[in-house]
A and B are shown apart, each in its own frame.
Chain A
Amino acid sequence: MSERRTAGARRYPRSPAEWVAGAILYALAGLSLVLLIGPSLIVIGISFTEKLYISFPPEGFTLRWYEAFLDHDQLIDSAFVSLRIAGWVTVLTLALGITSAFSLVRGRYRGRTALSAFMVSPQMLPGMVIGIAVLFFGSAFGFYQSNPMVIIAMTVFCLPFVVRIVMARLEVLDPSIEEASANLGAARTQTFFRVTLPMILPAALAAAAFAFIEAFDNLTVALFTASPRGRPLSVELYTLVQFDSSPIVAAISSLEILLALLMVFVIGRTIGLEKI
Chain B
Amino acid sequence: MNATARRAARPSARRGLAEHPLVLAMLSSRGVGPAIPALAYLVVFMVIPFSLLFSFAFLTVDRGEVVPWSFSLEHFGSALGDYLFWRIAWRSFWVGALSTFVCLLLAYPVAYLYTTLGSVARKLLLVAVIAPLLTSALVRVYAWIVILGGRRGLMNTVLLELGLVERPVRILNTDWSVLIGMTQIHLPFMILPLIAVLVARDVEIENASLNLGAGRVETFFRVTLPLSVPGIVAGTALVFALSYTNFIIPQLLGGGNYTTLAVQVYEFVVVILDWTKGAVRASLLLGSCFVFVLLIVWAGRVATRWTEARLS
Residues of A within 8 A of B147 (CB): 39, 42, 56
A4 to B242, CA, bound (A): 32
Q: Are A188 and B27 in contact (CB under 8 A)?
A: yes
Residues of B within 8 A of A140 (CB): 52, 66
Q: Are A8 and B211 in contact (CB under 8 A)?
A: yes
Residues of A within 8 A of B107 (CB): 32
Q: Are B53 and A264 in contact (CB under 8 A)?
A: no
Q: Are A130 and B46 in contact (CB under 8 A)?
A: yes
Q: A28-B109, A54-B149 are in contact. Are A156 and B26 (CB under 8 A)?
A: no
* Chain A 1-24 residues near chain B, CB threshold 8 A: 1, 3-9, 11-12, 14-15, 17-18, 21-22
**Dominant SS at the A interface?**
helix
* Chain B 177-231 residues near chain A, CB threshold 8 A: 183-184, 187-188, 191-192, 199, 203, 206-207, 210-211, 215-217, 220
* Chain B 271-312 residues near chain A, CB threshold 8 A: 275, 278-279, 282, 285-286, 289, 293
Say whether A80 faces chain B, with CB atoms less than 8 Å apart.
Answer: no
A51 CB, min distance to chain B CBs, angstroms = 9
A12 to B209, CA, bound (A): 12
Say whether A78 faces chain B, with CB atoms less than 8 Å apart.
Answer: no
Q: A219-B137, A250-B142, A253-B139 are in contact. Are A17 and B217 (CB under 8 A)?
A: yes
Say whether A83 faces chain B, with CB atoms less than 8 Å apart.
Answer: no
Q: Are A29 and B110 in contact (CB under 8 A)?
A: yes
Q: A42-B146, A125-B286 are in contact. Are A189 and B18 (CB under 8 A)?
A: yes
B196 CB, min distance to chain A CBs, angstroms = 9
Q: Are A219 and B136 in contact (CB under 8 A)?
A: yes
Say whether A132 faces chain B, with CB atoms less than 8 Å apart.
Answer: yes
* Chain B 137-184 residues near chain A, CB threshold 8 A: 137-147, 149-150, 152-154, 157, 183-184
Q: A124-B241, A129-B285 are in contact. Are A238 and B138 (CB under 8 A)?
A: yes
A119: nearest chain-B partner, CB-CB? B38
Say whether A25 faces chain B, with CB atoms less than 8 Å apart.
Answer: yes
B202: nearest chain-A partner, CB-CB? A4
Q: Spot the interface stretch: B73-81, B84-92, B262-270.
A: B262-270
A128 to B244, CA, bound (A): 12
A89-133: CB near B (< 8 Å → 1, else 0) gives 000000111011011101111001001001100101110111011
A96 CB, min distance to chain B CBs, angstroms = 4
Say whether A256 faces chain B, with CB atoms less than 8 Å apart.
Answer: yes
Partner of B135 from the list A40, A126, A267, A273 (CB cut-off 8 Å) is A40
B79-114: CB near A (< 8 Å → 1, else 0) gives 000000000000000000000000001111110110
Q: Are B245 and A129 in contact (CB under 8 A)?
A: yes
Q: Are A241 and B113 in contact (CB under 8 A)?
A: no
Partner of A42 from the list B143, B220, B252 (CB cut-off 8 Å) is B143
B121 CB, min distance to chain A CBs, angstroms = 12
Q: Are A54 and B113 in contact (CB under 8 A)?
A: no
Q: Are B30 and A32 in contact (CB under 8 A)?
A: no
Partner of B248 from the list A39, A133, A137, A220 (CB cut-off 8 Å) is A220
Residues of B within 8 A of A (CB): 15, 18-19, 23-24, 26-35, 37-39, 41-42, 45-46, 48-50, 52-53, 56, 64, 66, 105-110, 112-113, 115-116, 118-119, 123, 126-147, 149-150, 152-154, 157, 183-184, 187-188, 191-192, 199, 203, 206-207, 210-211, 215-217, 220, 241-242, 245-248, 252, 262, 265-266, 269-270, 275, 278-279, 282, 285-286, 289, 293
Residues of A within 8 A of B (CB): 1, 3-9, 11-12, 14-15, 17-18, 21-22, 25-26, 28-29, 31-33, 35-37, 39-40, 42-43, 46, 53-57, 95-97, 99-100, 102-104, 106-109, 112, 115, 118-119, 122, 124-126, 128-130, 132-137, 139-140, 152-153, 155-156, 159, 163, 187-189, 192-193, 210, 213-214, 216-220, 223-224, 234, 237-238, 241-242, 249-250, 253, 256-257, 260-261, 263-264, 267-268, 273-274, 276
In the complex, besides A4-B115, A9-B216, 12 extra interface pairs with C-beta distance below 8 angstroms are: A28-B108, A36-B184, A36-B187, A55-B152, A122-B46, A128-B266, A129-B50, A137-B45, A137-B48, A152-B45, A189-B18, A276-B133
CB-based closest 7 A-B pairs: A217-B136, A39-B143, A133-B49, A137-B49, A126-B245, A103-B35, A100-B38
14 contacts between A and B (CB under 8 A): A3-B119, A4-B203, A6-B115, A26-B113, A37-B128, A56-B157, A96-B41, A99-B26, A107-B34, A119-B42, A241-B138, A268-B126, A273-B126, A276-B130
